[in-house]
Chain A
């Protein structure tokens, strides 16, 4: 069974601070996705990283996929109250009957105070 360990579980910071969320596994994934979920809604995809070592930037968000494709991080610069939400990492598998199936981490609840 593949597992994704996400840390920290909770993060409460002030507007303007930087933060990093980590997603670790002992398993290799074909790709790693990051989702953000707001209260009362379903998760929404932020980014997909596919290549080991890949770095993607989305405005103030920077996503990195580990060289061995077992871990990933999400870094937010100068956090804003609008960044508040649940952040989920999810690993995808390329082969067999698991094709397309995602393994989700437990999530990080981020609260950014004005």
Chain B
């Protein structure tokens, strides 16, 4: 049963520390998304990649957040330095985008990384 794998599932850190979240997308998917979910803002798109190339990172605070995809099996989201307001659940999703059939643009989500910055 193919699934998106995110690590760690939980992370507690102190303000100012670096945080790295990892995502293994489903094999064969060509698009990877990073989201942040909070009660106040809901699900916000931070950045996404297609064929490992960054397409849009306008939702991400550029001064402290960075997203990379070093290879097709790994996507990373880093926060440096972390702040209490970064506390949220971070989701990675992967999917196949392309082709004429629009309904194939489905996103499969990982279980998320719950980040608490003290």
Contacts and interface: CB of A to CB of B under 8 A. Distances in A.
B110 interface: yes
Interface string A82-111: 000000100010100111111011110000
A42 B112 contact: yes
Contacts of B50: 99-100
- Which of B55, B106, B112 has the largest number of chain A CB atoms within 10 A? B106
A102 B35 CA distance: 11
B19 interface: no
Interface string B75-118: 00000000000000001010101100011011111111000000
Contacts of B70: none
Interface residues of B, number: 25
Contacts of B45: 101-102, 104
B43 interface: yes
Contacts, number: 63
B95 A104 contact: no
B42 interface: yes
**Chain B interface, DSSP helix/strand/loop, else mixed:** strand
A68 B33 CA distance: 28
A97 B93 contact: no
Interface in B30-52: 31, 33, 42-43, 45, 48, 50
Contacts of A31: 102-103, 105
5 contacts: A40-B112, A50-B102, A92-B105, A102-B33, A102-B107
Given A40-B111, A42-B111, A107-B42, 16 more contacts: A31-B102, A33-B106, A42-B93, A42-B110, A44-B109, A45-B108, A99-B50, A100-B48, A100-B97, A101-B48, A101-B55, A101-B56, A102-B45, A102-B105, A104-B43, A107-B43
